[in-house]
Amino acid sequence: MTAAAKKATRLLERVLAHLENAEHRDGQAEMVRHVADTIEAGGTLVIQAGTGTGKTLGYLIPILTAGQTAVIATYTKALQDQLASVDLPMLQAVCADDDELAFTWAVLKGRNNYLCRQRASEIETGSDQLDFDDVSATVQREVRKLVKWADGTATGDSSDVPFAFSDGAWRKVSLSSDECPGKAKCDFGESCFTELARERAHGANVVVVNFSLYGLDLQHQREFLPPHEVVVFDEVHELEDVISDTASVVITPRSISNAAEVSRKAVSSQKVVNALAKTATDLDEVLHRHVGERFRAALPPDLETALRQTADQSRLILEQIECSTDEKPEALRAESTLERLQQDVEKVLASASDMVSFVSENRNAPRLTAAPLRVNGVLAPVWTDGVAILTSATIPPGLPRRLGLGIEADDIVHVASPFDYRRQSLLYLANDLPEPNAPDRSDAVHRRIAELVTMSNGSALVLFTSWSALHAAVDSLRGNLGDGIELLVQDDMPKKMLLDSFRDNIRSCLFATRGYFQGVDVPGDALRLVIIDKVPFPALKDPLLDARREQVGKESFVAIDVPIAAASLAQAAGRLIRTSTDHGVVAILDPRLATRRYKSLVLHGVSHMPETSSLAEVEEFYIKRQAESDSQDHDS
């Protein structure tokens, strides 16, 4: 064992001694050693750490013993909250009396998560009445309350607000990075909540962010995050999609209309503002003609013309703003918004060979997106600037290569989970059900869900790959799952409240879609069954994936679709066993797994579970586990 690994191992032992009922986990100790050695030697480590490993301590402890500055980037807010509320405060307490190990930490979020003092001032003085008149009385009351709260808060962070408020109210008191003119140009720059958060981050040894902010930092030439020696990407299976999103450009008629409205207070001539607003209407008409189309080279002439008109009109307004000596906040905000709009239009018009543009539509609102075909170029600086640790409970074999790392599947370090999956779990494959497109599919699936829920006596998380499938199941099964079994449905209430209700009633069933495939942590008897309605392949009509499929060629299904489905499936199945005393069944209601050649690839992430296609074996599993539980209760 290297000196670095020994030092990190000693701190791990101190931490475990500090924690009540903590157990030594071989996988966690192994991860600590791997991370310590990578930090010492430099380079990149890709490490798959099974559920229950305790991977956050597995990378935090070696970072602290190495005395390195680090950014921890996560995908879910749940993990970010765990780091900020549990792991880092605990480690800080353990290390506080050791000068060599003592450290500071901070959480940094995107600008729109912080209240804008300039906006609050405009609302307070009444100078923002034009923007304030277009909202309901309820939102106005919420806004006034938020403005008052701003006087007493130290952070301005939306998650610290002690009362409920709507998204619409928060939008009135916050700014996006596109709208903000920057610290130097703002009267409130010195007391800006975002700038203060960045200052705290720059003074901290460990900074926690989400993937989106890390991606934006890369796009803005490292403008937001402090210099750091180590970056950890936790939940790395989601990194590719998030970095693709942050590197993409999205232009909508609404964004142009908003730019025009922001400009109205900034210039005296409303003629140029109206001209920009008209380009939004023109673009809307053009985009509607091209919905569903994808472009690899030049844009269609009518779309290119509409975008150039937008760029020309925004340039005219910018010239008027720049000629004015007035530096009031409205002008600075308009200048920032218009400059970003111009940059976005120019990027789309440039039609780089590594980008694909496409037009999509949501609720009759069209949008033009230009996205990178690959993210390896975006991430390239990360792999050469310092140490990078990439970890998750599930890492698709081809992911490191797609991220631009010279690491093959065999180079991924695997740390086993401490759980006894052979005893604690069972994987049920419903091979006898109709295939997904069969006319009698829905009724058969609903009957099978009811059978499985009866065997588990509730305590089921039922996951669907589409909203239509969820609604059909709810309509069929609500009130038909057995006496005392409550059916909870995604969006019936806020996610936290919904999960609390699910935990509290161990005979309840929670029906949800892909948003609940991860970030759900319900240990114990409240969750004994996870049902997945079918293999979660990505959408066939996803334009970006279509472009990537086209680039790969005939092997695209195995190279793109199967790994995405396998990772999603493994994440969903990972909701089941959260502690060493949990038990339950993962049921996949997709008969294609009985006949398709991709079965072993799709089930790679759940191959540690014993497999059956027999309902009788599922019932026997629950009876046996219940008998064991009753015996333990009797002995205690």
Q: Report pLDDT digits (tens) over 82-118.
A: 899 999 999 999 999 898 999 999 999 999 999 999 8
Question: Which stretches of 117-266 are DSSP H helices?
Answer: 117-125, 129-132, 137-150, 167-173, 193-202, 211-219, 239-246, 253-263
Identity of the residue numbered 468? S
In the prediction, which pLDDT does 242 show? 95
Residues 6+ apart with CB under 8 A from 381: 218
Burial of 528 (0-12, 13-18, 19+ CB in 10 A): buried
* CATH number for the segment(s) 3-104+204-244+375-415: 3.40.50.300
In the prediction, which pLDDT does 484 show? 84
Mean pLDDT computed over 485-514: 92
Cβ atoms 476, 446 nearer than 8 A: yes
Instruction: Calculate what percentage of the chain has a pLDDT beyond 90.
Output: 69
Confidence of residue 474 (pLDDT cuts 50, 70, 90): very high
State residue 221 phi and psi, 5-degree precision.
50, 50
Highest mean predicted confidence (pLDDT) among 39-48, 346-355, 404-413, 518-527: 39-48
In the prediction, which pLDDT does 481 show? 87
Cβ atoms 283, 256 nearer than 8 A: yes
**Would you say the CATH fold of 421-635 matches that of 3-104+204-244+375-415?**
yes
Domain extents in the chain: 3-104+204-244+375-415, 111-196, 249-372, 421-635
In the prediction, which pLDDT does 233 show? 98
- pLDDT of residue 326 exceeding 90, the answer is no
Confidence of residue 325 (pLDDT cuts 50, 70, 90): low
State residue 253 phi and psi, 5-degree precision.
-55, -35
- What is the β-pairing status of strands 294-295 and 355-362? antiparallel
Mean pLDDT computed over 35-60: 95
Confidence of residue 360 (pLDDT cuts 50, 70, 90): very high
Q: List the single range of 22-36, 236-250, 352-366 with lowest mean pLDDT.
A: 352-366
Residue carrying structure tokens 């398709």: 596
* CATH number for the segment(s) 249-372: 1.20.1440
In the prediction, which pLDDT does 268 show? 78
Mean pLDDT value across the chain: 91
- pLDDT of residue 636 exceeding 60, the answer is no
Confidence of residue 513 (pLDDT cuts 50, 70, 90): very high
**117-125 helix and 137-150 helix, angle to the nearest 10 degrees:** 120
- pLDDT of residue 127 exceeding 80, the answer is no
Per-residue burial over 364-378, b if 16 or more Cβ lie within 10 Å, else e, is: eebbbbbbbbbbbeb
Class of domain 421-635 as given by CATH = alpha beta
Tell me which DSSP letter residue 96 carries: T
